[in-house]
Amino acid sequence: MVSQVAPQPPITLRVSVTDRCDLRCLYCLPPQGASSLYDPSEILAFEEIVQIVRAVTRVAPSVALRITGGEPLLRPDIDRLVSMLCALEVSDIALTTSGQLLAALAPCLKKSGLRRVNVSLDTLQPERYARLTRGGSLQRTLAGIESALEHDLRPVKLNAIALRGINEDEFGDLARFAIARGCQMRFIELMPIGPAASRHREWFVPADEVRARLEREFEFVGPLPGPTAPARTFAVRCSTTGLPGVVGFISPISDPFCSGCRRLRLTSRGELLSCLMHGDRLDLRPILRNGRARTELESAVRAALARKSVCRTALRRFPMATIGG
């Protein structure tokens, strides 16, 4: 008899390659940066990351990779890791970056096999960008976006956290900027994680409010299919320029997507997280470094996947920079 079991949707594995970041965004890190950075000896070597990703590909039918950090472009030879990962059986490979170092690195990332990039862009105002990121350069990130487009790391997705009193006057500007360049603009709800936990009431803007503001300037033509993405995406048309584009909303707070979530996260020191919001971590480093059997790695991945069925929401105090967003 033919099995009636529905095919499993792909797993998205977010691989953090470093806990170092070149920015200290107000909502993500304290002013002095992460309180305790990992010892370099704790950080997984490229070969160790590959072993873990290989184990995930053996357990899950289809795996999409997101390379993140900290800031992944701070990891020396990141393009070498990308080409090692591209040699595995993965369905997609993208990288999430602040964009500060992207202008110079886009050509070698493309050559290494990277398909596309997501760039964090919360504001288009240079001074506001410097304040919000505590010292970042908007110009550098914009140059990074241009370089990514030039080297065909598409679709380039631009991610903005919607922040009351900080960038709520710019949602339309950000969407217009993205659409004019053929990028997708995605608005993300602030999660009460790290420094954002204590300011959440003050800064949080629900996705519906972002959309209502955008509707003043954009016609929402219709939803786009995307069953595995956490983003709800829409085809839009700018009312003034007539330009078509795509806008997405990621709303973990107002519309939690736990039931459909197929994400796993690997920290840069080898802990596998099945959920951003609860603290369970499976430490894979001892398995890797004690030379234990590959089946043990696969069992750990299976256990992390099994834990995904249990949603235990709790406020976490660790900053997103240590787990990669």
The answer to the question of residue 65 lying near ligand SAM (CB under 6 A) is no
Cβ atoms within 10 Å, residue 204: 19
By CB under 6 A, what part of segment 179-198 binds ligand SAM? Answer: 188, 190-191, 193-194, 196
Question: Rounded to whole angstroms, how far apart are CA atoms 325 and 320?
Answer: 5
The binder of ligand SAM chosen from 161, 166, 185, 264 (CB under 6 A): 161
Question: Rounded to whole angstroms, how far apart are CA atoms 84 and 177?
Answer: 34
By C-beta, is 11 or 21 nearer to ligand SAM?
Answer: 21
The answer to the question of residue 167 lying near ligand SAM (CB under 6 A) is no
By C-beta, is 138 or 190 nearer to ligand SAM?
Answer: 190
Widest pairwise Cα distance in the chain: 65
The binder of ligand SAM chosen from 18, 57, 96, 251 (CB under 6 A): 96
The binder of ligand SAM chosen from 97, 112, 167, 267 (CB under 6 A): 97
The answer to the question of residue 21 lying near ligand SAM (CB under 6 A) is yes
Structure tokens at 324: 């990669």
**For ligand SAM, how many residues bind (rule: CB under 6 A)?**
22
Question: Rounded to whole angstroms, how far apart are CA atoms 189 and 205?
Answer: 7
By C-beta, is 276 or 287 nearer to ligand SAM?
Answer: 276
What contacts 24+ positions apart, CB below 8 Å, involve 132-137?
132/25, 132/26, 132/166, 132/167, 133/23, 133/24, 133/25, 133/98, 134/23, 134/24, 134/25, 134/26, 134/31, 135/23, 135/24, 136/22, 136/23, 136/98, 136/100, 137/100
The binder of ligand SAM chosen from 71, 79, 170, 271 (CB under 6 A): 71
The binder of ligand SAM chosen from 27, 187, 203, 218 (CB under 6 A): 27
> What residues line the site for ligand SAM (CB under 6 A)?
21, 27-28, 68-69, 71, 96-98, 120, 159, 161, 188, 190-191, 193-194, 196, 320-321, 324-325
